[in-house]
Structure 1
Amino acid sequence: MRPLPKEPVYLRDRVIGAARPAICIPLVATDREDALEEAKNMVSLSPDVVEARADFWSESSSLDAACALLSDVRQILGDIPLLLTCRKKEEGGYRHIDQDKRISLYERAVAMGIADAVDVELSCGQEVIGRVKEVARSYGVALVVSFHDFDAVPRNMEIVEVLEREFEAGADIAKVAVMINSHEEGLELLASTLEARRRYTKPIAAVAMGEMGAFLRPLGCFFGSDLTFASSGRASAPGQPPFEVIKRYMDMLFGFVE
């Protein structure tokens, strides 16, 4: 049995922190028509969560257009929870979007009832995170606070410290995504994930990136990560495996708990 958080997060009828870890598929189409078609394809896969990566969308330059697209995606997904992310360019975003525009998108989407969770980078700082946290809490929306390192794994328990800072900033779910360049870095991530799971009561997402990191995604869940990411075609991060592959491994590792 994998270690579980004492305070799971509920997104609609999905539990982040259940015995079987959750799989999220990012929606990364770059125009409206493709985004809607991609959302329809995702419904057939039945992921636990869909992440709307608004930084990929050409509509993201207009708040009205972005929210209209999000509303249509929300309708297509039905009861599948929607995580809204407009990623900073410096942390893997597809295009640069002004921070005020990104935060305004979160605030309006939350108020419209479109998003079940929103993702804000730890590097945005406490003032911005607190602003998003306040509006998210008022509408019962979960906050993901995230950290990404596309070079390597932070060493000497730095991952655990990053997760602690994310929870202190107000995260309901704390996320780290790091590049794996060696077997030793893979072991560092797994050990840090287990230590963090034992320390903190809320869900975590510890994601391995890169070719070497792909196989660690389901394995990391065994060590305490409650949420991982998989693609339905185009990946949103290096080494992101296809959903069918991750689900197959999840079935082997955790199918017995169902």
Structure 2
Amino acid sequence: MLLKNLPAIAVVLTDRDILSISKESLEGADLIELRVDMFETCDDNLNTIENIFALAKKKFNLPILCTIRSSQEGGKKDIDNRLQIYERLIPYCEFFDIEIFSKEAPSLRQISQQHNIKLIASYHRFDLTPSVDELEVVFKDAKKLNADIVKIATMVNKKRDLETLLLFTLKHRNDKIIIIGMGEKGIPSRIINPVFYSLITYASLNINSAPGQISLQDIVNIFRILGVRSN
């Protein structure tokens, strides 16, 4: 799985973070998610983006997850040449993330397989949490892609949504899944679901990439208290 701890903690960073933070500030993180759609200084310039990834690999020596999120599922800006960027960043990445229903997903699956990069096929709903049956349809579509990991993140509006996400997590305990509830009411899912086989939880350092995200320091401390991890 390329990760020393499961559940793993991914810290979400931007280009400005890579340029400014110290290695010590990422203590407890298992991997870095670099959100290219949140980059501020690159203007989609391939050379500049590549330099950021090269610096991140050298500076922090952690596995890197490259995400170029579509604006339709929460990305901060539209990027037309996503496949070209992913291909350029192959030497620096252990993981790619792409939306299950994006037109680029099948091509990125082929690219990632050719270069031994794990593909996270993701699905985001920022308005609600669908039923377990609806989530099953999403999961099956992700498996048709032959994704290595299926990530589902939905908005939690009521307690029952947390129950739905936990039930789905338990149902797929033997699959490689990431299940996240977004929003303030979804915060418990970022702690509970990883205890029950959701592989990765996402933490913030300076900027939240999704509503309800917990800080890296807090999630590390919570996991230690729960005995989920010792380091």
Report the TM-score when normalising by structure 1: 0.83
Shift in Å, 1:42: 6.4
Q: Does 1:232 align with 2:208?
A: no
Alignment deviations for residues 7-33 of structure 1 (CA, whole Å, 9 cap, x no partner)? xxx22xx25xx6x4111011035x4xx
Match of residue 26, structure 1, among 12, 21, 44: 12
Match of 2:155 in 1: 179
Alignment deviations for residues 186-240 of structure 1 (CA, whole Å, 9 cap, x no partner)? 1111111111224x3xx21101110011122110112221111011121100010
Equivalenced residue count is 230
Shift in Å, 1:145: 0.6
The residue type equivalent to 1:246 in the other structure is: I
Q: Does 1:103 align with 2:83?
A: yes
Shift in Å, 1:254: 3.4
Match of 2:98 in 1: 120
The residue type equivalent to 1:186 in the other structure is: L
Shift in Å, 1:156: 3.6
Q: Does 1:205 align with 2:178?
A: yes
Q: Are 1:91 and 1:149, in contact at CA under 8 Å, matched by a contact in 2?
A: yes
Q: Are 2:195 and 2:228, in contact at CA under 8 Å, matched by a contact in 1?
A: no
Match of residue 169, structure 2, among 168, 193, 212: 193
What does residue range 64-79 of structure 1 map to in structure 2 within 5 Å? 64-78=47-61
What does residue range 2-151 of structure 1 map to in structure 2 within 5 Å? 10-11=1-2, 14-15=3-4, 20-29=6-15, 31=16, 34-38=17-21, 40-41=22-23, 44-58=26-40, 59-78=42-61, 80-98=62-80, 101-110=81-90, 113-125=91-103, 128-151=104-127
Root-mean-square deviation over aligned CA pairs: 1.9
The residue type equivalent to 1:159 in the other structure is: L
* Partner SS state of residue 135, structure 2: helix
Counting aligned pairs with the same residue, the percent is: 28
Q: Are 2:23 and 2:60, in contact at CA under 8 Å, matched by a contact in 1?
A: no
Alignment deviations for residues 140-186 of structure 1 (CA, whole Å, 9 cap, x no partner)? 11111100000110114322331222122121111011110100111
Shift in Å, 1:253: 2.6
Whole-angstrom distance in 2 between the partners of 1:254 and 1:160:
31
Report the TM-score when normalising by structure 2: 0.92
* Partner SS state of residue 192, structure 1: helix
User: Structure 1's 252 and 164: CA in aligned 2 closer, same or farther, altered over 3 A?
Assistant: farther
Match of 1:215 in 2: 188
Whole-angstrom distance in 1 between the partners of 2:55 and 2:144:
34
Match of 1:159 in 2: 135
* Partner SS state of residue 89, structure 2: helix
User: Structure 1's 196 and 255: CA in aligned 2 closer, same or farther, altered over 3 A?
Assistant: closer
- Spell out structure 1 runs of 4+ moving beyond 4 A: none
Structure 2 unmatched ranges of 5 or more: none
Q: Are 2:23 and 2:59, in contact at CA under 8 Å, matched by a contact in 1?
A: no
